């Protein structure tokens, strides 16, 4: 079965750039989504089609996908960005989620 691998944790200082990776076999050939989940809340779509932001998602969030790795970049990270982040892709008709990355802003 297809797997997506994320680092369990990422730390960043406020105002700095956070980079969260998501790895999978030939992932660059698939479309990747990213979801943000804060404690006690439902996941929120923050990126789709690798690099497109839904309405209302700040411009500091950006995405890319090439080779075997998709990347979520948060520029000028704010304390409010502290959350769990999940990547998601499609393996043919099957939905696959990554294991999640806890972003700590300290």
Partner 1 sequence: QITLKESGPTLVKPTQTLTLTCTFSGFSLSTSGVGVGWIRQPPGKALEWLALIYWDDDKRYSPSLQTSRLTITKDTSKNQVVLTMTHMDPVDTATYYCAHLTFNSRDYIQYFDYWGQGTLVTVSS
**Contacts with partner 1, residue ranges (CB under 8 A):** 1, 31, 33, 35, 37, 42-45, 48-49, 54, 86, 88, 90, 93-100
The least CB distance from residue 35 to partner 1, in Å, is 7
Compare residues 16 and 45 and give the one whose CB is closer to partner 1. Answer: 45
8 A C-beta contact, residue 72 and residue 34 = yes
The least CB distance from residue 48 to partner 1, in Å, is 4
Compare residues 44 and 69 and give the one whose CB is closer to partner 1. Answer: 44
d(CA 22, CA 17): 17
Residue with tokens 């970049």: 73
Compare residues 12 and 86 and give the one whose CB is closer to partner 1. Answer: 86
Three-state SS at 26: coil
d(CA 95, CA 63): 19
């Amino acid at each position: 079965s297809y797997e997506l691998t994320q680092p369990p944790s990422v730390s960043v200082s406020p105002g700095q750039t956070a980079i969260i990776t998501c790895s999978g076999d030939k992932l660059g050939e698939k479309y990747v989504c990213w979801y943000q989940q804060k404690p006690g809340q439902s996941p929120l779509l923050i990126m789709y089609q690798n690099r497109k932001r839904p309405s209302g998602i700040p411009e500091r969030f950006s995405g890319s996908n090439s080779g075997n790795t998709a990347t979520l970049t948060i520029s000028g990270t704010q304390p409010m960005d502290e959350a769990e982040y999940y990547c998601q892709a499609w393996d043919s008709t099957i939905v696959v989620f990554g294991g999640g990355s806890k972003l700590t802003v300290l």
